[in-house]
A and B are shown apart, each in its own frame.
Chain A
Amino acid sequence: MTDGRVPAGVSDGLLVWPLSMPLTPVDTLETASAEREYVWTLNFGPQHPATHTTLRLVLTLDGEKVLNAVPYIGYLHSGFEKLGEHLDFNQYVTIVDRMNYLSPLANEIAWHHTVEKLLGIELTPRCKYLRTILAELMRMHDHLLNLGTTALDLGGFTAFLYFFQQREHIYDIVELASGQRFHTSYTRVGGVLFDVNTDWINRVRKFIREFPKVYDEVDRLLTKNRIFVDRTKGIGYLSREEVINFSAVGPVARASGVERDLRRDEPYLAYADLDFDVICSRGGDCYARYLVRMQELLESLKIIEQAVENIPGGPVNIGVESDMVLPSKPSVYRSIEGLIQHFEVIMPNRGYDVPREQIYAATESPNGELGFYIVGNAETRAYRARTRPPSLIHFSMFPHMIRNHQLSDVVAVLGSINIIAAELDR
């Protein structure tokens, strides 16, 4: 129940309600009440469980109603973009990993997508499919945690535990491919670190088989849950025009009726070959965002299934004659050519040709359009490595979304826009 609306029960005369206050139109109330004495200020964060990481909000409250919210960010600003100017294209992968830490591989794929576009590299078909599978696994990874913690913040602990179990399976799959469970640093310029084997493919197949069962369970737990629906429906509404004007993309925009998905509109990797739907909703509220994310889980599963069954053979890296990829370890250890090539790529004063140009390229990360703007300066590190962070844009909409809602809705809205502080502050 929000202020400005007649509470249930008034119309049928069962409840005596002091009609003078809540029926004031919300818009006029806002400016007038900001000067009143009973308006008070609440500091929310930067260390608060519902912020998940480090956000700070200063809320102006009239009772339980939020009149205004002023976000303060930068509590996790660690100089990513400055580091990007000092590390080479392969080294910076370890840093972009730590940007959106709910889906590390999606960041790596976005970074190398841009680098490869700058260098003019065309990937091998196997690499494209492999990266597609990993990107979609990461989308599920991100959505699973986001949906789980949203439910947790709204009082449903079970969904969080169920979904975290599935995340652990994805961790296992990623660990089997890259050797690391969390920050994989798996992609390289022109390919990936190692190829995957049949065991890995079987592990992914097993995950595809088992996931729908858990999905159904959580779907039953949340989608029609009275408490969950009441706390998310009609909360944090965004219209299509507002979303576009605020520069938002990704699930948040699609939940407001913006039909845009880079996977379909500007196909990269193997997405052009695969069959999937772009999930949209006209709801625009927290519940619509929840539904979009839930449906995207199934779409991702569909994409993974197609990609796993159709993954082509052949090499996973582009040829070593391009001078941009590391040769295989056996050839480094057993032949002088391989050793020389290894040093040619690794040594900071050797490297390969990088155009003195600027480029922007983006991929559809779980959170929206994750793009990089790279300035090349004839050396193997970027002169400027700008990230376009979806979280920053989503959080800048927050004051607009929370205005005139209840204090308890802050948590629901924060959960539904999925803020990752490391990506927000970089």
Chain B
Amino acid sequence: MVCLTELQQKFGSQIVESHFRDNRRIDVPASTLLPLLTSLKTDYGFSMLVDLTAVDWLEYDGATDRFSVIYLLLNMDSGERLAVRVPVNLPEAVLPSVYGLWRGADWMEREVWDMFGISFSGHPDLRRILMPEEFDAFPLRKDYPLKGRGERHNFPVITRSGS
């Protein structure tokens, strides 16, 4: 088990812990994210990044930040799970990339960039992954409508005589 006070001594007291059912989460500010994750990997044995995702809090009552990025970690030896949540705000939605720690973060970070527009500094190849390159919105943001803005129909029509 990772001891919270130990982490607070190392990375400042802004680290907050919470529980829900069997999930254990710690909230950290963006400034200490990378040293904290590095330490979790090397010192505490969280060798696997299970998932990396984000949430847009735009329509959530009482939310203070625009986005959260969530790192779900797993200790392969003890089976312990830990979620690390970090708030991100516009217009400077940038976080350090964890590609150097876990190579599995490569596509996950690209997906978060594609869907939410949160960029990761230090990522070797941060391009759109799911949407076409020329797409200019971030679909999973709450201010993007479910049915899109007409991009899905913006194609030429092929007729019989034209083919």
Residues of A in contact with B (beta carbons under 8 Å apart): 73-74, 77, 79, 81-83, 85-86, 117-118, 120, 244-248, 258, 260, 265-266, 355, 357-360, 362, 369, 371, 373, 375, 377, 383-384, 386, 388, 392-393, 395-396, 425-426
Contact = CB atoms under 8 A, between A and B. Distances in A.
A375 B103 contact: no
Interface stretch (B7-15, B31-39, B51-59, B154-162): B51-59
Contacts of B87: none
B55 A86 contact: no
B65 to A, nearest CB: 13
B47 A244 contact: yes
A33 B112 CA distance: 34
Given A246-B103, A388-B51, A357 B20 contact: yes
Nearest to A246: B104
Interface of B: 20-21, 23, 25, 47-51, 53, 55-56, 59-61, 70, 72, 76, 79, 81, 83, 102-108, 111, 115, 128-132, 139-140, 146
Contact of A77 (B21, B48, B79, B131): B131
Contact of A258 (B50, B59, B76, B111): B76
Contacts of A245: 47-48, 102-104
A73 to B, nearest CB: 6
Given A360-B51, A369-B50, A244 B76 contact: yes
A375 B83 CA distance: 14
Nearest to B47: A244
Contact of A360 (B23, B103, B128): B23
A246 B104 CA distance: 4
A291 B44 CA distance: 34
Contacts of B131: 74, 77
Contacts of B140: 81-82
Among A86, A244, A355, A426, find the residue whose CB has the most chain B CB atoms closer than 10 A.
A244
Given A266-B79, A371-B50, A392 B107 contact: yes
A73 B104 contact: no
B103 A79 contact: no
Nearest to B83: A360
Contact of A265 (B55, B79, B129, B130): B79
Contacts of A244: 47-48, 76
Nearest to A260: B76
A362 B61 CA distance: 27
B129 A247 contact: no
A425 B83 contact: no
B50 A425 contact: no
11 contacts: A79-B139, A82-B139, A86-B146, A245-B48, A246-B103, A358-B25, A358-B55, A375-B60, A377-B60, A384-B56, A395-B107
A377 B142 CA distance: 14
Contacts of B111: 392
A369 B72 CA distance: 13
A400 to B, nearest CB: 8
A248 B130 CA distance: 20
A120 B21 CA distance: 8
Contacts of B103: 245-246
Contact of A359 (B23, B50, B107): B23
A383 B23 contact: no
Cβ-closest 8 pairs across A and B: A247-B104, A74-B130, A77-B130, A396-B107, A388-B51, A386-B53, A246-B104, A384-B55
A83 B76 contact: no
A65 to B, nearest CB: 23
Given A81-B140, A82-B146, A260-B76, A386 B51 contact: yes
Given A74-B129, A371-B51, A396 B104 contact: yes
B102 A247 contact: yes
A50 B80 CA distance: 38
Contacts of B59: 383
Contact of B21 (A260, A359, A384): A359
